[in-house]
Amino acid sequence: MKNIITLICAILIAGCASYAGRGLGLGVSSDADVIQLMGEPAMRFAEPDGSQLLVYPRGPAGFQTYMLRIDAQGVLTSRENVLDQKHFARLQPGMTQDQVLRIIGPPWPDWTMYFAARDELVWEWRWCDDFNEPARFNVLFDGSSGKLRSTLNLTERQSLPFGQGDRRQWCGH
């Protein structure tokens, strides 16, 4: 019984490492190491200098999107969760959908909606805000031009009737 519990704990720890790429070393791990640990990325962007940006969204149940930079020699140079205020602040009106994808990665497909009356396309991400509260971040695009109009951020509690349902334990930082 003790061996089974040890095995289950080891599997869970390994799963957590691959989820965020914590077992990878900056300046040491190769692109093959990244893919072996984290799997194939949801998106891959080639940069002009020969480097690559690999995107790993962990939604809808997860609260992170990890972006990993691989230099032209195939070595990991950075790993970060991009669903945070610092990255959201980089989004500006007039940006294209591709520019948004390169900053915060793809939204969860089931949470993408088009509103014909406003000619507006809305993308949504789930994230943990600075107060450790599950939140939703929305990017609103002009439906015709595909350019960013504005953004919106609400905690999940704000969207529930009377603000019920404290979910801060879900973010568990």
Spans of the chain below 50 pLDDT: 5-17
Q: Provide the whole-model pTM.
A: 0.82
Cis peptide before 161 (omega within 30 of 0): no
Structure confidence by residue, pLDDT tens digits, 95-120: 999 999 999 999 988 889 999 999 99
Which of 49, 76, 80 has the alpha carbon at shortest distance from 67?
80
pLDDT at 34: 95
pLDDT at 131: 86
Tokens read off for 76 = 């990991």
Are 63 and 126 in contact, with CB atoms under 8 Å apart? yes
Q: What are phi and psi of 97, to 5 degrees?
A: -65, -40
pLDDT at 81: 95
d(CA 136, CA 63): 10
- Mark out the alpha helices in the chain (DSSP H runs): 2-20, 31-38, 85-88, 97-104
Are 121 and 146 in contact, with CB atoms under 8 Å apart? yes
pLDDT at 11: 37
Q: What is the DSSP letter of 102?
A: H
pLDDT at 127: 93
- 68 three-class SS: strand
